[in-house]
Amino acid sequence: MQPVQTPHRALVYIDMPELLNVLPRNGEHPLHQIRGLLNRLSTFLQRKYNTEIVQGFAYGTPEDAQYHLLPGMELRLLERPELVSRTMELDILEHALLRPNIERYVLITGQGQHGPLFQRLEQWGKMPVLLAEDPERASEGVSLKMTLLLPVQDVLSMHQPVGSASAGTFKPIAPLPYPLHRDVLYIIEQGFGKYEEIYLTPLLRKLSDELGDLEEHTPKSLINDLIEVGAVRLEKRSGIPHDYTVLIVNDEHPEVQEVREELAQGAGPPYHESDSDSYSPY
């Protein structure tokens, strides 16, 4: 029996302005495209190079603040676009010096030039990975022997990992049990309505902050109640470095539609403090 090899550990870095410029304009939200890119990259590195991505960093400007919901990624915002690439490279070099247990450094960019950085990483015995629109051009001017060059489009075209995006179904539509559940829908739509998929962890934190302490309910129990009446559903996703759960709202649920209409007219949630056993909205 052969001994199990310990996986190589990798950090991933994303130049958000550069990457956004080269993503295909196919109608898919960039957030979904980037998530798919990370999922495919993670599976590819695990299967072919025995490498596990253990942490990630995304760099951008305040315009990129919406991408704070990328799973497993720490978002670092710089005031000016010209600081993004420079700060990212400095962080990579610092990590390479201070974190000897990390063997691979993965940089995802668009058309940025990073040849000298990867040459230095190779000199330090690291195994770099460069994803770019044209990685040969992004690393031109230096001789690289250990760097793995991957075109962004090739990674996006890789087969989607099994189980990374399961197509679920909603439970049969039924009325919301109490007014408090309508408040939950308001919070979901106000804070996360622009996303087709909502990461569960920040949503639960938002519900806890907005609703405070409730005697009869917790944020998780309220979500479970919405699932039972077909207003939302949960699905599992593959992530970096851990899998995660997303919530999907049912566009066909009548009370979801009503909440969206009321929000469009400027309404907001009344935040009911307690339920009434005798209350019935129907």
> Which part of the chain is CATH 1.10.10.10?
179-264
- For residue 13, how far is the Cα from the chain centroid? 14
**pTM metric for this prediction:** 0.64
Closest CA to 137 of 114, 120, 119, 156: 114
Residue spans in the chain of domains classed CATH 3.40.50.1010? 8-156
Calpha distance 217→231 (Å, rounded):
18
As a whole number of Å, the CA-based R_g of the chain is 22
pLDDT in tens for each of the 282 residues of the chain? 455 578 899 999 999 999 999 998 877 888 888 888 988 898 889 888 899 999 999 999 998 887 776 767 899 999 988 899 999 999 999 999 999 999 999 999 999 889 899 999 999 999 999 999 998 888 777 888 888 999 999 998 886 544 444 457 899 999 998 889 999 999 999 888 877 888 888 899 999 998 888 777 899 999 999 999 999 999 887 666 667 788 999 999 999 999 999 888 876 666 555 443 332 322
Measured N-to-C along each axis, helices 219-228 and 179-192 cross at an angle, to the nearest 10 degrees, of 100
Could you say which architecture CATH assigns to the domain 8-156? 3-Layer(aba) Sandwich (3.40)
Give the architecture (CATH level 2) of 179-264.
Orthogonal Bundle (1.10)
